[in-house]
Structure 1
Amino acid sequence: MRRPVEEDHPRVLAVLDEWWGGFGGAAGSRERALLLPRLFLEHFADTSTVVEDAGGRLVAFLVGFLSPARPATAYVHFLGVDQAVRRAGLGRELHARFLSAAAQRGAREVRCVTSPGNAASIAFHTRVGFRVEPGDLVVDGVPVHADHDGPGLHRVVFSRPVPGDPALRGAGAPGGRSPSGP
Structure 2
Amino acid sequence: MMTLRTAAPPDHARILDVMPAWWGGRDLRALVPSLFLEHFAGTSLVAEADGELAGFLIGFVSQDRPDEAYVHMIGVDPARRGDGLGRRLHDEFADLVRERGVRRIRCVTSTVNTASVAFHTSIGFVVTGTGVPVEARGLEADADGHVLMCREI
Judge same fold: TM > 0.5, yes or no. yes
Q: Which structure 2 residues correspond to residues 86-165 of structure 1 after superposition, within 5 A?
A: 86-139=81-134, 140-141=136-137, 142-147=139-144, 154-162=145-153
Matching of residue 52 in structure 1 with residue 80 in structure 2: no
Q: Deviations over 1:15-56 (max 9, x none)?
A: 111111124xxxxx1xx21110001111101101101111x1
Matched pairs, number: 148
CA distance in 2, matches of 1:17, 1:127: 25
8 A Cα contact 2:129 2:149, kept in partner: no
Matching of residue 40 in structure 1 with residue 36 in structure 2: yes
Structure 1: state its 5+ residue gaps: 24-28, 148-153, 163-182
- Please, what TM-score do these two structures have when normalized by structure 2? 0.93
Bigger Rg, structure 1 or 2? 1
Structure 2: state its 5+ residue gaps: none
More helix by share: 1
After TM superposition, give the deviation of residue 137 of structure 1 in Å: 1.1
1:159 partner amino acid: C
* Structure 1 runs (4+) greater than 3 angstroms displaced: none
Residue aligned with 1:98, SS: helix
2:11 matched residue in structure 1: 8
After TM superposition, give the deviation of residue 134 of structure 1 in Å: 3.6
After TM superposition, give the deviation of residue 79 of structure 1 in Å: 0.3
Q: Deviations over 1:97-133 (max 9, x none)?
A: 1111111110111000000000110000000000001
CA distance in 2, matches of 1:52, 1:101: 18
More strand by share: 2
Identity rate of aligned residues, in percent?
A: 48
Residue aligned with 2:102, SS: coil
- Please, what TM-score do these two structures have when normalized by structure 1? 0.79
1:72 matched residue in structure 2: 67
